Amino acid sequence: MNTAQNKAVVLRFNKECIEQGNVNTFNELVDDQVINHSAPAGMPNGPESMMYFIFEILRTGFPDIRVDILDQIAEDDKVTTRKILRGTHTGEFMGLPASNKQVSIMVIDIIRLNNGKYMEHWGMSNLPDILQELS
């Protein structure tokens, strides 16, 4: 796949999986052998870690979550995305009860793809700041 196609896969993942909660799209776009380098130390780092975070933590805490893609840069088999996840904290999030606060989670991630599927994920965010803001 070329870089434009890879960028389209990452955009689709963000819109259909994170925003819409589409598990079928997740299963279509994430390889069974994916490595999530952003998983906490000692925790599973395969597709189950990504699925759990998106569907059981992020979308539970922020059911109205929206993803705004600010930048995407692609080279070879990697796509780097700078984005903002915006939502209202209306459900439990990482042990914190709903506060009804609006949050903006700033994220930069790198995805390595192969044949249109996520193979590796690296990410950085301001999640520690969000957790402190919500406590």
Q: Are 109 and 71 in contact (CB under 8 A)?
A: no
pLDDT of residue 56: 95
Please state the pTM of the whole predicted model. 0.95
Which of 99, 95, 97, 96 has its CA nearest to residue 87? 99
List CB contacts of 32: < 8 A, sequence separation 6 or more: 46, 47
Give tens-digit pLDDT for 85-135: 999 999 999 999 999 999 999 999 999 999 999 999 999 999 999 999 999
Confidence of residue 40 (pLDDT cuts 50, 70, 90): confident
Q: Are 91 and 62 in contact (CB under 8 A)?
A: yes
Dist. CA 25–CA 124, nearest whole Å: 23
